[in-house]
Amino acid sequence: MIVAGAYEMRTKTPLQKAFSLFVGVQRQNFKEKNFVPSTRSVAFKKDLWEKLNGFNEALQKAEDTEFFLKAEKIGAKKILCPEAKVIWFEFENLKLKDMIKRFFSYAKEDAKTLIFWDKNKGIKTHNLKVLFIFARYLIFFLLFLNSKILGSLTFILYLALAFLKFPYLKLSLEERLSLIVMQIISDFSVMTGFIVGILEKALTWLH
């Protein structure tokens, strides 16, 4: 009922490249078991759309994630077709402020879905990953309170791991340094977006 294709984000700058790696799914991770389709490159039957009542229009982003996770819950058959690749040129025009807004809005809308667990994605659901980010920085803070040297070294190690992300890709030094910048931008934008999303969801319950 669902055919999920691959996609490639075209970029011009190291920062754009780093951003595309953070928000995209690499071909190495294009696996049927835990891959959630995206409207970036997908086809599905009309009767599935009607059965699930389409996208949740209360969400500005992440509506496709919610839709396809619901599809998996009802047992909709999914196949992957990496040969069906979409080339996405929009990323060539993104500025830093655009990237921050994207991270923020993705996390905010994901939080509103309240999806923390899925049998296929397990602990890799977007909202659980954000909770792990909060836990990560709490650990950094507690370590720093106990020992400034230990806390600082732990954080430096974390940045070094960001530099070494995607070891299977041939990236330039500038692109790898941009991964460090993007890691920090992503972490704080996502945490902020998640908090706002939860608060907005709580406000809808109060009303």
Confidence of residue 29 (pLDDT cuts 50, 70, 90): low
Distance CA 132, CA 44 (A): 33
Distance CA 105, CA 31 (A): 26
Q: Which two tokens mark 142?
A: 């507690």
- State pLDDT tens for residues 130-187: 999 999 999 999 999 999 999 999 999 999 999 999 898 899 999 999 999 999 999 9
Distance CA 53, CA 76 (A): 14
Distance CA 192, CA 194 (A): 5
pTM recorded for the entire structure: 0.79
